[in-house]
Amino acid sequence: MKVKMKQDFIIYSIQAIKHMKKADNLNLNKVS
């Protein structure tokens, strides 16, 4: 159970980072 939660947290973190990078790219495109 603990291991599963840790895996889910890692996956969630990776998805959040990817989402943030996408948002950054959109913001950069708007500025330029």
Q: Residue 30 has what pLDDT?
A: 80
Closest alpha carbon to 5 in 15, 18, 13, 19 = 13
Residue type, 25: N
pTM beyond 0.85: the answer is no
Query: pLDDT tens across 1-32, in order?
Result: 688 899 999 999 999 999 999 999 888 888 76
Q: Residue 32 has what pLDDT?
A: 62
The CA distance from 28 to 32, in Å, is 6
> Degrees (nearest 5) of the Cα angle 11, 17, 4?
15
